Structure 1
Amino acid sequence: MCNFSEPIQCHHEALLPPTKACPALGDRLRPARRGEGGAVAEVASIVRLAAPMVGAGLLMYMRSLVSMVFLGRLGRLPLAGGSLALGFANITGYSVLSGLAAGMDPVCGQAFGAGRTSVLTAALRRTVMLLLAASIPISLLWFAMHRVLVATGQDPVIAAAAYDFILCSLPDLVVQSFLHPLRVYLRAQSITLPLTYAAGAAFLLHVPINCLLVQSLRLGIRGVALGAVSTNLNFLLFVVVYVYLSGLMHGNDGNGKASACSTPAEEGDVEWGCLARLSLHSCMSVCLEWWWYEIMVLLCGVLADPKAAVAAMGILIQTTSLLYIFPHSLSCAVSTRVGHELGAGRPERARHAARVGLACGAALGLVACAFASSVRGVWARMFTTDATILRFASAALPILGAAELGNCPQTAGCGVLRGSARPEKAARINVASFYGVGMPAALALAFGPARLDFPGMWVGMLAAQLVCAALMLYAVQRTDWAEQAVRARKLTGAVVAEPDDDVKSGHADAAKVKADNGMLVVTVLN
């Protein structure tokens, strides 16, 4: 049994103070229309949000795949060094920034559902500042990476190659500090298709940039790192151009007009504290799971054949990253749907969205398991021809696929908790499953009497995912949705209005958000 803490409470102050100038769209419930709220309709709503995110995720995965291919063509040492550097960067940097940015997810989603759109820009601005501040200690740690790796028993030659890679990745911290919050900002408003277009345009430039840096300029492993940074920067620039041209940053009412809700009080310390607590708990939730995968990369450095094990783990991390695109996109869509419904004051619809999302996660798990098992003999050959690396990867792929049976539904469940502003509960679940069950099992199987070596670590990951899925489903099942709707009203500052002719019924579902030629159109159905 896990004793979960109480949800985050922000009783005294909302992120922004309530105001009569911006009545909440969801202050009054309206009767459901025929067919509205059914399972098929909810699946359609989730798919409309998730599909463009899957496209963007696949394009960014292709960017990582191209980078790994370039590393593999450079040789065994660059592949191992790049994999180790990416593992270190993910543990100490990228996971932290991604987790902190996730703190604005429930704020923006619930605020948009409540019609408190002025909250979104304030949350975006503060989150960017928070991520930039967090990048300073992260960069200092990256400068000390070589000494840290050698002190933990890593091969000095691999550590030196990884150090070259991570030093060239330092500018990526600044890029990610803007990119992550912007993606959440757009997703909370159901704007996901422009992200796919931006990712596609950035990917088209990725291959020629790598050819220039790696082959023409012969920068080797440094060129691969710089190529990844350049692609992320292009992605950010394309998103910024869209946001600027669409008028989203001129105001948050959806048509480029300045919002009347913005006041000097928006910068209050109390509101900062509420957002910071959400960001901290979201960071813990994301990092605790993300770190488990990357810790396995580091542990591979002390196995019997460290170079082959680290390189094989890098390939498998790329594989699980591909599979993770689908449940992660689903999780983001479920988080947005749950946040919108809670912000609109519709707890039963939020419960329905959560259940449909979990069912979709279970279906994705079956597909992912079948895929990983079917490609075990050919997948790793895209990266390398080394016989030892191929043998390691082939043995672990079926285990990886079985773990997806738990990973997909638990990722969807994490989206439910995030959308209802309860990231601390997800963090506790991750601690119990990955570090209370998975880590001891992996160490015992890989280094204990069984001596399963590389496959033993993946069996430990399988145990962690299954336990995590069970705990996540239990937490969602025990949710008091009426209480979560009350908490959403407090978080966003929405005020339940009395029926009158000026305040029309509606909520986030009543706003059909369309991205057409770079312009945002919001239509409220009266």
Structure 2
Amino acid sequence: MENDDINTRLLGGKQQEEEEEEEKEIKIHRKVLDELKKLWIVAGPAIFTRFSTFGVTIISQAFIGHIGATELAAFALVQTVLLRFITGILLGMSSALETLCGQAYGAKQQHMLGIYLQRSWIVLTICSFILIPLFLLATPILKLLGQDDDIANVAGYIALWLIPVMFAYVLSFTCQMYLQAQSRNMVMIYLAAAALIVHVILSWLLTVKYKLGLPGAMISTVIANWIPNVGQLLFIFCGGCPDTWTGFSWLAFRDLWPVIKLSLSSGVMICLELWYNSILVLLTGNLANAEVAIDALSICLNINGWEMMISLGFLAAAGVRVSNELGRGSSKAAKFSIVVTVLQSLSIGIVLFVFFILFRGRLAYIFTNSEEVANAVGDLSPLLSFSILLNSVQPVLSGVAVGAGWQSIVAYVNVACYYLIGIPLGVVLGYLVHFQVTGIWIGMLVGTAVQTVVLLVITWKTNWDRQVNLAQERVQRWIVPEAGERNGNGTMQGA
């Protein structure tokens, strides 16, 4: 009888342990689903919006590619060198807004988001005027960098059309960061879809039906980049964000220097990443048969860029989730969000890795009629696939850095991994070992791999409780009391 009681207790204890384990698994499962929901609320619209922004460029390239090989090479050169250079600066500087808005929103200081947005507009607009000479001097700059004269001349003409695109990016990037921080970004999907549809129709009308050639393609490009901005501004100004937008304020001109410093460190971090591929194109431009090499590489980088838009969406989501949780004061939630975001992005990267390994160079015919260029794309496809796999992790870790405000630290990591390891190794393999563009790309992939490992180690070793304290200190240091920010009519406030 006593033995029966012991066995019963043992069985009961075992059953209780199993029930506790099952309940624990259910809780983790629910926690993961809840985090995925929060993640995709930001990542979904962010991915689609970035697809649209990048899609405008790809659609332009597709139409220009059927105008002529020189025009395609020139547009690819301007897009991957000059425009990527500018995008790196503006996107990087606007990522400071993502840090500030995300942490302020998490700390329930919603009234600060509108002020941060206006400060970012001021800083980025001044920066854009400083960058205009790069567009005006694009032809001599590209020739100085060793590019073919015919390609550089056409590239200089295209660069002039991209000046209004640069100013469109100022509003586009900042409004996106502002809306993402408060998960009010569904409107971006509708505007992005409208811009793509208009761009396809207008490009066909101007380049195919009315035979306007390069000017027609560029007119459509400018219009498509400004459509989302008009819609986003109307949404913000007309009551779409009542808790965070209370009107224009003179307070936007106060405390600009801390914003400038964070914007500059953010700009350097993102620039060093985006310029990396630009240098790959520049190095390729000095190889034999440069036109084919640039065309093939630009097609690969554009395909890679499509996938990169997914990763950048997860970068934005990681930045928002981490900054929100740090501002809210939850280090555990921030760490859990990082794990879920990295695994989700990596799983998508693995699927795309397999897809591009299987299809190799067949996708090249979307962009070109040249069999020589398509074959060159096929040769580069394995490297493209590995780039896609790395891109599924590295940008997410950069998003974590943005959310935590580590931009200056990651900038140093980027300098070391990209410019002291990747590029020198690529030059050696491409020019000295004569692997041509394949060698250059291999070297730069090694740099990206090293950077990814370093960021993983930094993220793993970080004291996240300390990051919570730093985030809350930042919010308190830059906060403006809500009573001092509002006035009677809610339109133009003073200090």
TM-score scaled by length of structure 1: 0.82
Q: Deviations over 1:298-354 (max 9, x none)?
A: 222111111111111221121011111111111111110111111011111111112
Q: Distance in 2 between matches of 1:208 and 1:368?
A: 29
Residues 265 and 194 of structure 1, relative CA distance in 2, 3 Å threshold: closer
Match of 1:92 in 2: 85
Structure 1 residues 138 and 216 mapped into 2: Cα distance closer, same or farther (>3 Å)? farther
Closer/same/farther in 2, CA of residues 126 and 37 from structure 1, 3 Å limit? farther
Matched residue, 1:457: 440
- Structure-1 separation of matches of 2:30 and 2:116: 30
1:275 match: 259
Select which of 440, 462, 465 maps to 1:479. Answer: 462
Counterparts in 2 of 1:349-360, with a 5 A limit? 349-360=333-344
Summarize the Cα distance change of 1:416–1:147 in structure 2 as closer, same or farther, 3 Å threshold.
Answer: same
Name structure 2 gaps, 5 residues minimum: 1-25, 479-495
Contact 1:342 1:350 in 2 (8 A): yes
Does the 8 A contact of 2:422 with 2:445 survive in 1? yes
Gaps of 5+ in 1: 1-32, 496-526
Equivalent residue, structure 2, for 1:309 = 293
In structure 2, the residue matched to 1:229 is 222
8 Å contact kept, 2:338–2:400: yes
Q: State how far apart, in whole Å, the 1-side matches of 2:139 and 2:188 are.
A: 35
- 2:383 is aligned, of 399, 406, 413, to 399
1:293-332 alignment to 2 at 5 Å? Answer: 293-332=277-316
Name whichever structure is richer in helix by fraction.
Answer: 2
2:430 — aligned with what?
446
Distance 1:235 1:180 in 2: 11
Of the three residues 492, 513, 517, the one matched with 2:475 is: 492
- Whole-angstrom CA distance in 1 between matches of 2:251 and 2:168: 29
Match of 1:517 in 2: none
Matches within 5 A, 1:189-268: 189-248=182-241, 251=242, 253=243, 258=246, 267-268=253-254
Contact preservation (8 Å) 2:49, 2:188: yes
Which segment is superposed worse, 77-86 or 461-470?
461-470
Q: Aligned residues, how many?
A: 453
Could you say which structure has the greater relative contact order, defined with CA pairs below 8 angstroms and 6 or more residues apart?
Answer: 1
- The separation in 2 between residues aligned to 1:346 and 1:41, in whole angstroms, is 16
Shift of 1:77: 0.9
Q: 2:7: which partner in 1? A: none
2:118 pairs, out of 115, 118, 125, with: 125
Cα distance, 1:213 vs structure 2: 3.0
Whichever residue aligns with residue 336 of structure 2, its letter is: H
Amino acid at match of 2:229: L
Percent identity of equivalent pairs: 25
- Whole-Å separation in 1 of the counterparts to 2:41 and 2:449: 29
Separation (CA, whole Å) in 2 of partners of 1:400 and 1:169: 27
Q: Could you tell me whether the CA contact under 8 Å between 1:49 and 1:190 is conserved in 2?
A: yes
Query: Could you tell me how far 1:37 is from its partner in structure 2?
Result: 7.9
Does the alignment pair 1:470 with 2:463?
A: no
Q: Give the Cα–Cα distance (whole angstroms) in 2 for the partners of residues 182 and 388 of structure 1.
A: 42
Quote the Cα distance in structure 1 between the aligned partners of 2:344 and 2:414.
Answer: 21
Q: 1:44 to 1:388 in 2, by over 3 A?
A: same
Check conservation: 1:169, 1:226, Cα contact below 8 A. Answer: no
TM-score (norm 2): 0.87
Determine whether 1:182 maps to 2:166: no
**Stretches (4+) displaced over 4 A:** 33-37, 262-266
Q: Which residue does 2:161 correspond to in 1?
A: 168
Q: CA RMSD in A?
A: 2.1
| Distance of 1:394 and 1:353 partners within structure 2 | 37
Residue among 259, 266, 289 paired with 2:273: 289
Distance 2:355 2:267 in 1: 30
- Judged with a 3 Å threshold, the aligned counterparts in structure 2 of structure 1 residues 240 and 265 are, in CA distance, closer, same or farther, namely closer
- CA positional deviation for 1:110: 0.4
Instruction: Report deviation, 1:127.
Output: 0.7
Q: Distance in 2 between matches of 1:246 and 1:372?
A: 44
Q: Deviations over 1:366-416 (max 9, x none)?
A: 123112212213110111121221122111111121123322211111111
Secondary structure in structure 2 of the residue aligned to 1:493: helix
Tell me, yes or no, if the aligned pair for 1:110 and 1:343 is still in contact at 8 Å.
Answer: yes
Asked whether the 8 Å contact 1:400–1:462 carries over to 2, the reply is: no
CA contact (8 A) 1:114 1:494 kept: no
Compute the displacement of 1:36 (Å). 9.5
Q: Does 1:437 align with 2:421?
A: yes
Counterpart Cα distance in 2 of 1:403 and 1:247: 39
Identify which of 372, 376, 389 aligns with 1:388.
372
Task: Tell me if structure 2 keeps the 8 A contact 1:405–1:466.
Answer: no
